[in-house]
Amino acid sequence: MPETADEGAPALFSVGYEGRDLSDFVELLQENGVTVLLDVRLNAISRKPGFSKKRLTTALAAVGIGYHHARALGNPRDNREPFHSADPRPGLQVFRALLAGDDAGVELGHLAKLLETERVAVFCFERDHHRCHRQVIVDRVRADVPVVRLD
């Protein structure tokens, strides 16, 4: 997976907010030229200040970054445990099957369309790309754009 993207060119980023505060998170997105944040949490709420949908949308809009909540790309609560275990493969397998649904297909199509012109960050809680369902999403829509993990 490439670790850099040409400045201004369409790119796909994978990022989590674990261990980050809102200002550092927004700064990270700005430093990488992200233009759209695609929230792939099932529920766009957080106990961590600033990371619930309304406040996050406001903070991003203030710096010119768009926000889209793709609920259909969220990982169900009953499939989260494998991602915190020594072997996340069972969770990855379950999530891959969930992406076959119609609603997920619509959101994946939306993401593919965005990647024609935008620098999109696929976003969830887990900082480690390999411990999060977003790795399946990134692999599924990988196109002719660089993929950068912002671990």
- pLDDT digit string (tens) for 8-39? 789 999 999 999 999 999 999 999 999 999 99
pTM tops 0.75: yes
Residues 6+ apart with CB under 8 A from 102: none
Q: What is the span of the domain harbouring residue 55?
A: 11-149
47 in any annotated domain: yes
Which residues, 6 or more positions from 148, have their beta carbon under 8 angstroms from its beta carbon? 1, 2, 3, 4, 5, 11, 12, 13, 14, 32
Q: Which pLDDT value is given to residue 129?
A: 87
**Considering the domain boundaries, does residue 32 fall inside one?**
yes
Tell whether 6 is covered by a domain: no
- Domain membership of residue 4 (yes or no) is no
Q: Does residue 43 sit within a domain?
A: yes
In a domain, 2, yes or no: no
Pick out the chain residues at pLDDT < 50: 1-2
Q: CATH code at 94?
A: 3.90.190
The number of folded domains in the chain is 1
Token code pair at residue 71: 């609920």
Among 31, 30, 29, CA closest to 39: 29
